[in-house]
Amino acid sequence: MRVTKMHALGNNYIYVEEQEVADLHEQFAQLAIDISDVRKGIGSDGMILIGPSNVANVRMRVFNADGSEAENCGNGLRCVAKYAYEQKLVSGPSFSIETKGGVFAAEVYPNSEGAVERVTVNMGPVRLGTKTIPFSGPSAEGEEVQIQTDDLVLRGTVVSVGNPHFVAFVEDAKNTDVATVGPVVEHHPWFPERINVEFVTPISRSELDFRVWERGSGITYACGTGACASVAAGVHKGLLDETVRVHLLGGDLDIEIRDSQIWMTGEAKHVFSGVYRWHGIHG
């Protein structure tokens, strides 16, 4: 199958047009696991399928490196927008992308050669609280949830950006033990569909340090929906203004809350296009 690797701030996926894998639809989870494997496959944070949509200009399906399918992917939306425009799957610089978590409006900014390096996406309304995600904890928990285990007590704000997020405001995001704490929250029994876990530290009212443990992929260099969730949580808590530069491991994202919609602007980069031979589940 023909594949394209793209990244956004180092959050990288293997992009495949659905027509390339139409006969494999029952095997997408295993294909995502194999293609994401850096030793036996291509190596990525997951796989994203691009195909036609009945409700938008193009459709995106997101599979994490563990094969689980996610409702949304902010960095993926920007790379799909780049791909759709450059491959002429859409007719102009503004168009819509369907995901499992909703339809999102994208705008690309092509350079003089028609190449897209930066994209803005309207990531939809701010959605806060345990009612916006799959949650099986005490109903009394509202926007803030306190996770307690033998060796951990952590408060976080629950946000949905189509996919679920637990945003913890910590002393020093850049030096948080994400690899230890992240999976404890991701797999906590209160989150039956698991959850993405962000660790953030405001360094001013318009700048945020950010680290992430992603559901189904672990530590990634960047998480677009996570950055959106974090700014929404920070504005809600009165810690951030409505325009914020988020400093992720892989670089910066500009997030703006305007008319209670979340806008995300950032890069989208092409790495390579090629052919991947998959030997199937029994390969």
Ligand X SMILES: N[C@H](CCC[C@H](N)C(=O)O)C(=O)O
CA distances from 125 to 3, 163, 260 (A): 32, 13, 6
Nearer Cβ to ligand X (11/120): 11
Nearer to ligand X, 202 or 266 (CB): 266
The answer to whether the annotation marks 122 as part of a ligand binding site is: no
The residue annotated as part of the active site, out of 48, 73, 80, 161, is 73
Q: Is residue 64 marked as binding?
A: yes
Residues 6+ apart with CB under 8 A from 82: 6, 108, 116, 117, 119, 268, 270
Contact positions with ligand X (CB under 6 A) in 163-222: 163, 196, 214-217, 220
Interacting stretch for ligand X, rule CB under 6 A, among 69-77, 90-98, 114-122, 124-132?
69-77
User: Minimum distance between the CB of residue 86 and ligand X, rounded to whole angstroms?
Assistant: 20
Query: Interface mask (CB under 6 A) for ligand X, residues 240-269, using x and -?
Result: ------------------------------
Token pair listed for 168: 């913890």
CB of 212 to ligand X, least distance (A): 8
- 255 Cβ contact list (under 8 Å, min separation 6): 227, 228, 231, 243, 244, 245, 246, 262, 263, 264, 265
User: For residues 202 and 208, is the Cβ–Cβ distance under 8 A?
Assistant: yes
Beta bridge partners of 11: 8
Q: Single out the residue of 41, 74, 156, 202 in contact with ligand X (rule: CB under 6 A).
A: 74
Helix (H, G, I), strand (E, B) or coil at 46: strand
Residues making contact with ligand X (CB under 6 A): 11, 62, 64, 70, 73-76, 163, 196, 214-217, 220, 223-226
